[in-house]
Amino acid sequence: MRALLILIVVLLIALVVGDRVTVRMAQNEIGRKIAADYHLPQQPKVEIGGFPFLTQAFDGNYHDIDIRVGDWSQQNLSVHNLDVTLTDVAAPLDDLLHNRTSNLVAATAAATAVVPYDTVRGYAPSGVKSISNSPDGLRVTGTFSVEGIPVPATIVVTVAPTDDGIEVTPVSVQSAVGGPTMSLAMLRKTLTFTVPLQRLPLGAKLTAIQPGPDGLQVTAVAHDVHFSDLQ
């Protein structure tokens, strides 16, 4: 009986070790594919959820896969803390282990990232000095022209996802003490601008934007994601 118990324990340990080795191989292959297709300076960290992994692998279906990219740039626009979660993923184990991740398909890809305020300011009109979050909303400070006269002012703006990217629109203005009153309608014409970030990796389209302490926290979603479509 003792020998049988020892054998069972050894077999269980072997199964667990084999499970962890296999999941690491699959995670590495997915990370390699993402890094190659998006020309990332380093391979992202990939974590396949669920235990044991082998039961999902034999079935070829995974509930969720988390991909932590970190910094990511596209067309001279950089974001920080990029994370992507794939859900309801179909991928045969043999494909993953033999460098055929192009066959991987996910029902949904949900991405989050932070667009630094310095990046946002780079697309703002001249005169904008700083952009920061506050209890009143997203604040833009700078010096703006009123009938040819430069006037310091603080402007509260809103941000929203559009087909062209993140649209920044003035909603209220506070002129400097003793300065001339600034027309909100005029500011909307001159200070509305767009940060050209339409999508995050895997074709995820922007769906929500929330100002945070260090930048705009953006959320993007894509459906029916085929790795074979990656550039």
Please report, for residues 45, 153, 174, 210, 215, the alpha-carbon distance to residue 36 in angstroms, rounded to integers and kept in the order given: 14, 46, 48, 30, 28
Angle at 107 between CA 103 and CA 113, to 5 degrees: 100
State residue 56 phi and psi, 5-degree precision. -70, -40
Residue 173 bridge partners (DSSP): 155
**Using an 8 Å Cβ cutoff, are 73 and 42 in contact?**
no
pLDDT band at 152 (very low <50, low <70, confident <90, very high): confident
Q: Measure the CA–CA gap between 140 and 149, rounded to whole angstroms.
A: 19
pLDDT tens by residue, 175-220: 666 556 677 787 788 889 999 998 888 889 999 999 999 999 999 9
| Amino acid at residue number 50 | G
Angle at 201 between CA 195 and CA 206, to 5 degrees: 45
